[in-house]
Structure 1
């Protein structure tokens, strides 16, 4: 699969002006005190406890090679603690039928004492400028609040489903598999989760490459995992002896109420492995309820059990994308049907504005460029809407019915057919 640098190549180590004369600084990789300060500020921003020395050390390893930016206020009692942070790196994101290098943005925090001073806007607009300057076609993030990022051109691109299964009534109608489920220790679990995820993630648009500390977190062996000893792991080995799936889970047995098995992560590189791991969870002895988060909207789970009403699903937005280079982004995916349409894109920040002729022929060959009076049907939309449509997980018709995509019925139908993804996009891990 394509390899991309983990770190923005244009990294700047000098300080920059931030709003209200605050200092905007890139933290060097070897500045452990600075990285630790960023981690502490991030823990505060995401309502976490004060990190221990072991957690800070693990975090330094986890974010090595990424760009860390912090904003400092020299007037504070503790000026060495950032009042705002953001991290970024370059990763490869799967698309329908392909992939694209993506500028991943993470750990965006602003201290409650410094809100409404333009700090977040300054950081995010700089991230987009730097991503564009580096030649990246797409930026992405996961959002703790749903009303912030649309103003910067980000649109919801993947939906995460949380399943709850009443195992007392679920039953099973899924397939029998030729492989076997094996218990593994937590160190082995971390390794297998990473290997299987990397093999399987290319099958679904929207997923990204993981990293070792993330797998250790799921396996319960990362620093700060207070209940990590309760995490257990299994792997699925197929008939040829290949590991094709792995699952981290924990069982909760409260003093009262149902015994619950929480799936921390289910990673599968084949349909058989996915079904076998689901069956293991749903038919686990003495368990009344199974929960699993960050699953795709077309997950087979409801169709694997006898009583579909035993499965409830809650969905919410998860991955947000922002197209910066329309021709490069739209050329980095395959299309489900031929199309020839002009996309009239409105982008308040200017990166994607223009009239873009998208042509896909019957062989799947893609051409995207500025329209020069082609006379092809035209569809008008904003960069938020185009970014949401990019992976094929958002309905063109739904956005059209909401008045957010405008054009003739014929043009909108053709665009909907072309953008369709036969597998729903999924981001299986946060970043």
Structure 2
């Protein structure tokens, strides 16, 4: 049975607009190896990557057979079979505050060839994806971005942030708790299922996390099983088991030698996922106390990372914060009613949206359990919120007062914060 997102025709509005430039926008036939290869080569070029060997491209095709790939083609180009622009989308579960997940439209692989820039192609692609998501009944679109100046014009806004850490390990002494259980060195194949089970447990509790199946490339590349990953051979993997032998966390890292001083290695921590405080502390202590290592770098860590409270020198950890997950709300009642709220109460919100998807005035009525009924209303709004701000508020990690200072919210920001703020910072632990 064909998935709804594959059966849906190409967006007519954007296709017609591009046709006026003699460009053809169409779905890529993933069952056709040649069609997929041409699209894949264009995407790789768009992200400045080297050309992939044919066998790797073919192997990757198995992972996108149920994804919606779109290409824009120029019949007058030297290689007309290769698209000049692309998107890669699929439905995925996004966890919201309270542990409730909502099916959302994940957008990736957005490229426009340097030969076809400044022609409005990206706009047509992105607006097409928003209309596609809306037609599928998906209330949210989301993406992680390589260029942060592009997507706000389409209603996206940062909703989950991440931090990159640099730790001088010779300055720190562990002051955190003693832990139980055991750490094992494991192979990627051993971690393939045990690790994914841990990821799924954590995903259910952390707003901002996005589902990715155990047999999908998004998960496999995290543990060194990604197709054509030249760095995989450098990865080392450890797993933490509790006292009963149940896997509760894992870490993936690599060691980089300083050729001038063998005692001065850098440990690059790619992933550390823990389902329990004990596993979290044990894995971080393992990393920080590694012999012959003077520096640990950790990419994509949560904003509320407890690490600095587990060591004696707070300033030994240098922090760089980055925007990571961007969210775009398409259906306000469906999106806002899918999460839980900090307290009971009622607020009427007017939402403005230049593209029209979310425009309206909505009453948000939260019961004593933190669940909301959201409906359109003719009542006077307590606050007016741009659709970008709605995306930032949704996961509970950005305050309405901050957005008010930036002009994205007017009216009663304090009431919005009472309802929307979450005690757990949203976080997404990988790129897509």
Range that drifts further, 118-127 or 183-192: 183-192
Select 2:160's aligned residue among 158, 161, 172: 158
Q: Which position in structure 2 is the counterpart of 1:274? A: 280
Q: Could you say which residue in structure 1 is the equivalent of 2:298?
A: 292
1:46 aligns with 2:43: no
Q: Distance in 2 between matches of 1:277 and 1:47?
A: 34
Aligned to 1:366: 372
| Structure 2 residue runs without a partner (length 5+) | none
SS in 2 for 1:49: coil
Q: Which residue of 2 aligns with 1:422?
A: 423
Question: TM-score scaled by structure 2?
Answer: 0.94
Which residue of the partner structure matches residue 336 of structure 2? 330
Q: Which residue of 2 aligns with 1:66?
A: 67
Quick one: structure 1 residues 300 and 75, their matched pair in 2 at CA, closer, same or farther if it must change by over 3 Å? same
The aligned length equals 422
Are the counterparts in 2 of residues 392 and 419 from structure 1 also a CA contact under 8 Å?
A: yes
| CA distance, structure 2, for counterparts of residue 356 and residue 283 of structure 1 | 53
Give the CA deviation at 1:355: 1.0
Q: Match of 1:99?
A: 101
- Residue 187 of structure 1 corresponds to 189
Equivalent position of 2:124 in the other structure: 122
Report the counterpart of residue 339 of structure 1 in structure 2: 345
Secondary structure at the aligned position of 1:259 is classed as strand
C-alpha spacing 1:418/1:88, structure 2 compared with 1 (3 Å): same
Contact 1:210–1:429 under 8 Å retained in 2: no
Q: CA offsets per residue over residues 234-288 of structure 1, 9 Å max, x none?
A: 0010112110111111010121374111111112222221121111111111111
Residue deviations 1:215-249, cap 9 Å, x none?
33222233322232221100010112110111111
Determine the C-alpha separation between the residues in 1 that align with 2:57 and 2:376: 48
- SS where residue 430 of structure 1 aligns? coil
1:343, 1:357 within 8 Å by CA — same for their partners in 2? yes
Q: Normalized against structure 1, the TM-score is what?
A: 0.94
Q: Are 2:9 and 1:12 equivalent residues in the alignment?
A: yes
Q: Distance in 1 between matches of 2:4 and 2:115?
A: 30
- C-alpha deviations, 1:26-52, integer Å up to 9, x for none? 012311111111211111111111111
Gaps of 5+ in 1: none
Distance in 2, Cα, partners of 1:13 & 1:387: 26
**1:197-216 alignment to 2 at 5 Å?**
197-211=199-213, 212-216=216-220
Cα 1:80/1:336, change in 2 over 3 Å: same
2:391 match: 387
Q: Is the 8 A contact 1:190 1:218 kept in 2?
A: no
Residues 108 and 143 in structure 2, CA contact (< 8 A), matched pair in contact too = yes
Q: 2:177 is matched with which residue?
A: 175
CA shift digits 1:113-164 (9 cap, x unpaired): 0011111111111111111011110000111111111111101111011011
- SS of 1:108 mapped into structure 2: strand
Partners of 2:92 and 2:11 in 1: CA distance: 24
For the Cα contact (< 8 Å) 2:31–2:65, is it kept in 1?
Answer: no
1:82 aligned residue: 83
Is the aligned partner of 1:196 residue 2:198? yes
Residue 312 of structure 1 corresponds to which residue in structure 2? 318
Deviates more, 1:181-190 or 1:388-397: 181-190
Root-mean-square deviation (Å):
1.8
Shift in Å, 1:304 = 1.5
With 19-28 and 253-262 compared, the bigger mean Cα shift is at 253-262
Contact 1:161 1:315 in 2 (8 A): yes
Provide the C-alpha distance between the structure 2 equivalents of 1:39 and 1:171, rounded to a whole number of angstroms: 47
Distance in structure 1 (CA, Å) of the matches to 2:258 and 2:407: 48
Identify the match of residue 236 of structure 1 among 203, 228, 240.
240
Q: Give the structure 1 partner of residue 382 of structure 2.
A: 378
Structure 2 counterpart SS, 1:253: strand
1:13 shift after superposition: 7.0
- What corresponds to 1:397 in structure 2? 401
- Which stretch of structure 1 is more off in the superposition, 161-170 or 218-227? 218-227
Q: Does 1:36 align with 2:42?
A: no
Offset of 1:53 from its aligned partner?
Answer: 2.0
* Correspondence for 1:247: 251
* Structure 1 CA distance for aligned equivalents of residues 234 and 315 of structure 2: 30
Question: What displacement does 1:186 show?
Answer: 2.3
